[in-house]
């Protein structure tokens, strides 16, 4: 009775607390959730107040990370649902078990917070990259293998709803914890019109460059992709290699190796560029190689698919399965037969719109909100 009185007084039934970090996806998330649930969202960042680097448009409240696990249960009394936008800190996982049972808890996974729980490094790193990590002390200490610890287990057992970047990623959680499919919510960050193809609608690639991955993340297996390019004997003008975020030390190794192998044909991107300038570089890449085994860099993959680039993915990745199962033309090796015709491009764009168009994203966010605050 007391809880229902409080809900009525504070209109708690419509309120969602978002636990966020200073990352570039948060502005798109707040745009979508604020549209689906007006005046019903609060965004909390568990860090000391500071100047934000990536969040530009979201009204964020700061709370000291050290006391966050202890005060989150108090916040819980004012919200119907708490959404964790990624879940990787043990302090966050520890706090979850203290959230009252009448508050729904949702985990929107980004991938990097999911794979270390279920996979060892030799399952997501290819040969050359794994050798580099094992033999380079300042890289190996920052790369963790499978670690489904006590905090992770307890947190997952308490979570009411899960949203993963790709549906197949939910299977990792479901099989390990015997979770019902009804706990899965289909939702993604970004939409095509506002975020991914903005300013480049109906444009197509034109050039003879090759794109290698999207960031200085070890999981992108850059050194192995370099070998794939060498062994393919493809003719190209430049290798475009974005290394502007991720592990800067790993980016240094990739940059040095890239210049050693490809000389002045290697073009690393080491600083953040305005989006238009960034896409203008990528639109020159008629081939895009994403060497990761785990799901990562999906926004860049969507962009290059929409632009008509021949996208090459690791055949063992669930990202490859996701697109190929939908009939989207995708490649799993570099060769001379990489091409996309106009009919295939039209089909690809229609398929992407079915999931990532602005309107379909709006509908999915409405369904998300309805499910978590009933």
Q: Which two tokens stand for residue 173?
A: 């959680």
> Is the pLDDT assigned to residue 131 strictly greater than 70?
yes
Residue 372 is predicted with a pLDDT of 96
Listed range (10-14, 248-252, 355-359) with the worst mean pLDDT:
10-14
Q: What angle do CA 188, 33, 67 make, to 5 degrees?
A: 95
Q: How far apart are CA 37 and CA 41, in angstroms?
A: 7
**113 and 157 assigned to the same domain:** yes
State residue 91's pLDDT score: 85
* Residue 5 pLDDT level (bands cut at 50, 70, 90): very low
Residues 114 and 183 grouped into a single domain: yes
Q: Which pLDDT tens digit goes with each residue over 25-81? A: 999 999 999 999 999 999 999 988 788 989 999 999 999 988 998 889 888 889 999
**Is there a single domain that holds both residue 231 and residue 160?**
no
162 neighbors 185 (Cβ within 8 angstroms): yes
pLDDT for 327: 97
User: Would you say residue 321 has pLDDT above 60?
Assistant: yes
Same domain, 9 and 96: yes
Which residues lie closer than 8 Å to 211 by C-beta, 6 or more apart?
240, 241, 242, 282, 285, 287, 288, 289, 304, 309
Q: Could you give the residue ranges of the DSSP H alpha helices within the chain? A: 2-10, 26-36, 68-76, 90-96, 115-118, 121-124, 127-135, 137-140, 150-158, 167-177, 222-232, 248-262, 275-282, 298-307, 318-324, 342-356, 358-372
Dist CA 138 CA 254 (whole Å): 14
Domain count, the chain: 2
Range of the domain at 7: 2-189+359-372
* Whether residue 70 is found in the same domain as residue 200: no
Question: Is it the case that residue 2 has pLDDT exceeding 50?
Answer: no
Q: Backbone phi, then psi, for 107, in 5-degree steps?
A: -115, 115
Both 213 and 150 in one domain: the answer is no
The CATH number of residue 229's host domain is 3.40.50.2000
Count of residues in the chain: 374
351 in the same domain as 202: yes
Q: Is the pLDDT of residue 144 over 70?
A: no
Instruction: Output the pLDDT for position 337.
Output: 83
Residues 200 and 317 reside in one and the same domain: yes
Q: Identify the pLDDT of residue 88.
A: 86
Are 275 and 213 found together in one domain? yes
pLDDT at residue 10 in the model:
52
Rounded to two decimals, what is the model's pTM?
0.93
46 plus 163 within the same structural domain:
yes
Residue 233 CA to chain centroid, in angstroms? 32
Taking only the tens place, the pLDDT of each residue in 283-296 is: 999 999 999 999 99
State the pLDDT at residue 140.
78
Q: What percent of the chain has pLDDT over 90?
A: 77
* Same domain (yes/no): 16, 53: yes
Per-residue confidence (pLDDT) for residue 3, from 0 to 100: 45
Same domain, 178 and 285: no
């Amino acid at each position: 009775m007391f809880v229902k009185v409080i809900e009525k007084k504070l209109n708690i039934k419509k309120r969602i607390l978002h636990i966020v970090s200073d990352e570039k996806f948060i502005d798109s998330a707040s745009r979508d959730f604020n549209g689906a649930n007006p005046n019903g969202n609060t965004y909390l960042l568990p860090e000391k107040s500071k100047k934000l680097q990536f969040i530009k448009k979201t009204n964020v409240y700061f709370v000291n990370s050290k006391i966050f696990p202890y005060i989150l249960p108090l916040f819980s009394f004012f919200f119907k649902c708490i959404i964790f936008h990624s879940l990787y800190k043990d302090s966050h996982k520890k706090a979850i078990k203290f959230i009252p049972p009448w508050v729904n808890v949702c985990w929107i996974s980004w991938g990097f917070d999911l794979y270390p729980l279920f996979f060892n490094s030799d399952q997501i790193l290819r040969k050359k990259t794994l050798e580099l990590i094992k033999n380079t002390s300042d890289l190996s200490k920052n790369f963790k293998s499978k670690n489904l610890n006590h905090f992770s287990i307890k947190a997952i057992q308490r979570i009411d709803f899960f949203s993963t970047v790709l549906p197949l990623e939910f299977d990792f959680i479901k099989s390990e914890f015997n979770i019902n499919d009804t706990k899965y919510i289909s939702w993604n960050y970004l939409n095509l019109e506002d975020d991914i193809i903005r300013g480049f609608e109906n444009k197509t690639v034109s050039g003879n460059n090759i794109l290698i991955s999207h960031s200085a993340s070890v999981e992108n297996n850059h050194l192995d992709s370099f070998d794939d390019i060498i062994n393919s004997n493809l003719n190209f003008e430049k290798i475009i290699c974005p290394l502007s975020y991720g592990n800067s030390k790993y980016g240094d190794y990739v940059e040095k190796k890239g210049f050693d192998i490809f000389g002045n044909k290697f073009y690393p991107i080491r600083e953040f560029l305005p989006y238009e300038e960034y896409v203008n570089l990528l639109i020159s890449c008629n081939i895009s190689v994403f060497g990761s085994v785990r799901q990562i860099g999906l926004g860049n993959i969507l962009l290059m698919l929409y632009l008509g680039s021949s996208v090459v993915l690791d055949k063992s990745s669930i990202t490859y399965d996701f697109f190929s199962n939908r009939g989207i033309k995708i490649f799993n090796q570099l060769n001379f037969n990489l091409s996309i015709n106009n009919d295939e491009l039209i089909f690809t764009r229609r398929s992407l719109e079915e999931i990532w168009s602005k309107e379909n994203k709006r509908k999915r966010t409405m369904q998300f909100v309805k499910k978590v605050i009933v």
